[in-house]
Structure 1
Amino acid sequence: MTVPADVLLEGPRGRRLCLELALLLAPDLRSPVMRLAGALDPASGTSRVTLVLAASDDDGPAMHPGRPDATTPAGVAARIASINPGDISDSRILDAFGQSVGAARGWQEPDGEDVLAALPVIRESLLPVAGRVLASTTGPWLASARRTVQWHLDWRVPEDPVHLPGSPREALAAWARGARDEEERARHDRPSDPRAPYSGTWWSLPEGLLQTVGNIPAALDLVEDAAGEECATAVPVRGGGRTFEVAVEEDWAALCREYPLDVTASRRHDWYRTTGRAGSWVIPDWERVAADWDAVHLSALGYLRCATRALRVEADTASVIAGWNPDTTVWLTDVARESVEPRQAWRRHQDTMAWAPARQTG
């Protein structure tokens, strides 16, 4: 099935991927985009300071006669429209994807680049880039369902022993108790004004469960709120059972409607900053989801379309996918096991920051 190009631009993460691709193809746009993003950034003048090198006399638009003036959003859009999408490679797509995931912030305002990419004139100019991404050899993986062989990522040095998380029933029960306790405390301790400077749990997936990804080594760079990990062990995992696929907004909304858990008090401040929406918030009650489903998989395209934006559940409720990495499966029941394929050890090169195999572990 052919996916329309505008689908990739529905969400902040998809738009940011396309903007980062445009910057890879047109490096002369980096400085003007940085200036415009700095002016649009909600944190401008507070926590964000933009440093720009002074331009020499032969720098800037005059250096490229006939090139659009990129000092305004319309100028940047015109410059993006002049890019040849045929120069987009799979490696560049994955680089830009990593930049987009790294910029995801489910606990505070989007940065200026995200705001810039959401402007209608910029979004329109990114359509050819989005179309090329979806038509590339990476495109089918973006939209693919859970793969048979998955990989659990452990971020310690390869010499450390790796054990897969177990006891999902106990982990889900502990998560449910903790989520309800936090919500009850937040109702009493935190103000109802979403603009108040409060923060708490902002992610929407359950903790303590087995998580797997389907694409190695790409997944090593597709991690929200990463801590600069330099080592990883990828453990092969196979699992059966019933997998709920999250590929579009309605998939997530259906989970929230069928198994709602009210998290308004504990999420309202973080998710108001992230989305600008004030109102009631829900997430799936994962303990109840586990009664019907063994796993939930968020496809890479589902992530790009849906993550870090308000997703309508009912007329008066919404939800956010936050802290859930692309192409990641969360296992809710004890149906997944380590597979016979060898484990893989990876290290990040300090010079290039690229991942490379270190050695295989037993």
Structure 2
Amino acid sequence: MQLQSLPKDPKSQTLAPNFSNVDRTLLLPDDTLLRILSKLPDSQRLSNSLVCKRWLSLQGRLFSSLKVLDWGFIESGRLIERFPNLTHVDLSRACIISPQNSSILLHHGNISMHLSTGFSPICRILDENLLSVDVVDRGLRLLAGGCPNLCKLVVIGASEMGLMSVAEECLTLQELELHRCNDNVLRGIAGCRNLQILKLVGCVEGLYSELVSDIGLTILAQGCKRLVRLELSGCEGSFDGIKAIGQCCQMLEELTLCDHRMDGGWLAGLSYCENLKTLKLQACRAIDSNPGPDEYLGSCPALESLHLEKCQLRDKQSVRAMFLVCQAVKDVVIQDCWGLEDEIFSLAIFCSESSAKFSSGKLSG
């Protein structure tokens, strides 16, 4: 018996499912897919985030470090929603109001900004192009509330209240970089009990001018006693401020002074930094204008390394006092300094370690 084939009815045909168009990652839970995405190279993060909204959200969880360019991204809440696991945040570029249609780019250290035409070189350029303190503080409160595990923060123009909100919410904050800082602002970071690395930028000629004096340094010393590395750029002060840091911050191992405006006699304060291992002087027009008698200078017993970069070394008295304080040093690095003569080099005889070595870059006599 043979069965006759029936004519095919196109309406009665059923289409087989096309499994090639099915997103099989939907079968994976978020934690599993997140572990898979974390194994991929960083160069694929952007393309992965464009696959779908789910992948975009998961990729945001993998970011721990971010440099923010638009302050509106913070105030809108999208920063916290998109990147909930941030630990390192740089807000320096977002704090600057920069015209995007300008072809003039100003670059100073870590700060880059576009300038409008017709600006005067005498005015403080950055002062005129910064967000207001209230706006910066409001953004810091939002950031601190959404990123309680924040470990590193860079910001310009914050106030005491804004930094206090960060200190209260981000208990794990270990590294802080403050630009346009003054004594009042330092009251806010006194609550950062676990802070280990701190950079303060007070005055930058042509950009902005703020005052960090002995008052601020003392507040800092009493509040941040776990500091290991401290950098003071464009800061004022004297023997009292350096002494307070040495007495209170007993874990301090590295101190950097950049373009300092310290009063005469500040070098003697270094003797209170008993565990200091590295001293760096950068772009300093003078070491110490009046170091005082040798018997008052003291020394840093644990000092191992002395770095001098782009400094004026023509004052023999101050250079001599510096080597007396650093007499225990074993490694001296001199790079791009001015005023170096045979007599200046001979002052290094005060370094007690005969094995002290000098590493020099470009030297100018």
The interval holding the TM-score normalised by the smaller chain is under 0.3
Structure with the higher helix share, 1 or 2? 1
TM-score (norm 2): 0.23
* Bigger relative contact order (CA 8 A; separation at least 6): 1
TM-score (norm 1): 0.23
